C-alpha cells in the first residue's frame, strides 16, 4: 500500500495520468501502461521525490535546507553531498553566464514582485535606490563552500528556485525508469522529460504554452523522442509599467529585468537541468539569446 498519496490518478485510453501540484505549478505524469499498480507506483515515486526536493530546497519553507543556510547569520552551515552538487551547478551557471545568473540574487525579490500587476495603477514600481540597496547583498563569489559546508556573508541569501524544478524532473525520471520500462512523461509546470518513445514507437507531442496567451496552448507542438524540454519566460511572472512588460528574468549584475530578447525560450537537451540552464542563460543575453543558443548547437524555440 502506498502512503502519502498526494496525486489523483486517471485511467485513459492507453495510459494513466497522475495530476498533482508542486513548486507552485500544476504537474502531471503520464504512464503508458494498462497495469494500474505500475501507474500507481510510478506516480508515488515521482510525487514523493518532487515533494522531497521542494521541502529541502524551497526558500519559502522555514525548515528547509535552503532556509537553514539563509538563516545562518554569517556562520558556516553543514551541507550534504546533494546540496554540494547543486552549489557546484550554481557555480557553473554563474561562470557560464559571466555573472548574469546568480543564486544570491533572490533577495532582489524584495524590490521586484512579478505578479502580473500594472504598476501604473499601484505606483509600486521599484526605484533605482531600492534596487541599488538590494544589490549590496548579491554576489556569488562572496559565498564560501566546500563538500561539507557553505558560508554566506551576513545579510545574503541563496535561492535554488532557478534550478530546483528542472533538477526534480531529472531525479524523478531516474527513479521512475529504474522501476519500469513503461513509457513515461513527467511535466512539472512546463519542464518536461520523457523516458523514450511511446508504446507505438512514435514521439510524444508536447504543446508549448504561448507566452502571451495561455489559451493558445496548441499553437506550437514539439515532437520529443527522448530527453527533456525546459521553457523559461515571462508568461506568468511579469509586471507592467508605462506600457512596458518587465520579465522576471533579472540581470544579477544590474538588478533590473533583461529586455530586448524573446518572451520565452524552450530548449531541448538530454537532461531537463541542462535544458533549463540553457533556456535561462539565453534569456539573460537579451537580443543575443538566439545567437547564444545557435552557438551551442541545440534545438530551441524562441517566442516573441
Domains of the chain: 1-59+161-187 (no CATH), 66-104+139-160 (no CATH), 105-137+203-303 (3.10.520.10)
Helix (H, G, I), strand (E, B) or coil at 87: helix
Please spell the DSSP secondary structure of 31-65, one letter per residue.
Answer: E--S-HHHHHHHHHHHHHHHHHHHHHH-TTSTTSH
Binding site residues for Mg(2+), as ranges? 162, 280
pLDDT in tens, 191-228: 999 999 999 999 999 988 777 665 555 578 999 999 99
Residue 233 and residue 265 in contact, taking contact as beta carbons nearer than 8 Å: yes
State the number of CA atoms in the 13 A half-sphere of 126 facing the CB: 20
pLDDT in tens, 54-106: 999 999 999 999 999 999 989 999 999 999 999 999 999 999 999 999 999 98
Q: Look at residue 1 in the predicted model and tell me its pLDDT.
A: 42
- Percent of the chain clearing pLDDT 90 (strictly above): 66
CA distances from 175 to 43, 49, 164, 239, 304 (A): 11, 8, 16, 38, 36
Tell me the whole-structure pTM to 2 decimals: 0.89
Q: How confident is the model at residue 258 (pLDDT cuts 50, 70, 90)?
A: confident
CA–CA separation, 242 vs 198, rounded Å? 48
φ/ψ of residue 276, rounded to 5: -65, -40
pLDDT in tens, 118-145: 777 666 788 888 889 888 999 999 999 9
Grid coordinates of 39? 501507474
Binding site residues, as ranges? 162, 280
Q: Look at residue 82 in the predicted model and tell me its pLDDT.
A: 97
Strand arrangement, sheet containing 15-22 = 8-12, 15-22, 25-31, 184-188, 191-194, 227-233, 264-269, 300-303
Residue 39 and residue 8 in contact, taking contact as beta carbons nearer than 8 Å: no
Q: How confident is the model at residue 112 (pLDDT cuts 50, 70, 90)?
A: confident
Amino acid at each position: 500500500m502506498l502512503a502519502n498519496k498526494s496525486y489523483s490518478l486517471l485511467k485513459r485510453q492507453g495510459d494513466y495520468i497522475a495530476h498533482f501540484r508542486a513548486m507552485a505549478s500544476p504537474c502531471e505524469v503520464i504512464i503508458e501502461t494498462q497495469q494500474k499498480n505500475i501507474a500507481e507506483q510510478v506516480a508515488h515515486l515521482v510525487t514523493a521525490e518532487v515533494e522531497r526536493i521542494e521541502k529541502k530546497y524551497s526558500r519559502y519553507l522555514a525548515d528547509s535546507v535552503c532556509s537553514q543556510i539563509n538563516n545562518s547569520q554569517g556562520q558556516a552551515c553543514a551541507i550534504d553531498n546533494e546540496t554540494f552538487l547543486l552549489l557546484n551547478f550554481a557555480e557553473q551557471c554563474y561562470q557560464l553566464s559571466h555573472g548574469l545568473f546568480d543564486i544570491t540574487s533572490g533577495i532582489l525579490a524584495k524590490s521586484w514582485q512579478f505578479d502580473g500587476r500594472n504598476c501604473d495603477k499601484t505606483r509600486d514600481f521599484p526605484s533605482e535606490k531600492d534596487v541599488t540597496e538590494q544589490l549590496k547583498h548579491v554576489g556569488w563569489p562572496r559565498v564560501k563552500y566546500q563538500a561539507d559546508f557553505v558560508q554566506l556573508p551576513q545579510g545574503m541569501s541563496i535561492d535554488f528556485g532557478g534550478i530546483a524544478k528542472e533538477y526534480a524532473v531529472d531525479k524523478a525520471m531516474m527513479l521512475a525508469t529504474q522501476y519500469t520500462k513503461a513509457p513515461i512523461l513527467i511535466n512539472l509546470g512546463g519542464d518536461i522529460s520523457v523516458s523514450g518513445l511511446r508504446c507505438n514507437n512514435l514521439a510524444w507531442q508536447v504543446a508549448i504554452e504561448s507566452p502571451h496567451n495561455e489559451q493558445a496552448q496548441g499553437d506550437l507542438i514539439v515532437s520529443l523522442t527522448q530527453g527533456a524540454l525546459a521553457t523559461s519566460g515571462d508568461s506568468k511572472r511579469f509586471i507592467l509599467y508605462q506600457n512596458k512588460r518587465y520579465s522576471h528574468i533579472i540581470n544579477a549584475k544590474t538588478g533590473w529585468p533583461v529586455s530586448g530578447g524573446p518572451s520565452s525560450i524552450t530548449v531541448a537537451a538530454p537532461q531537463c537541468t541542462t535544458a533549463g540552464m540553457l533556456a535561462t542563460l539565453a534569456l539573460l543575453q537579451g537580443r543575443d539569446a538566439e545567437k547564444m543558443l545557435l552557438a551551442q548547437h541545440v534545438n530551441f524555440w524562441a517566442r516573441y
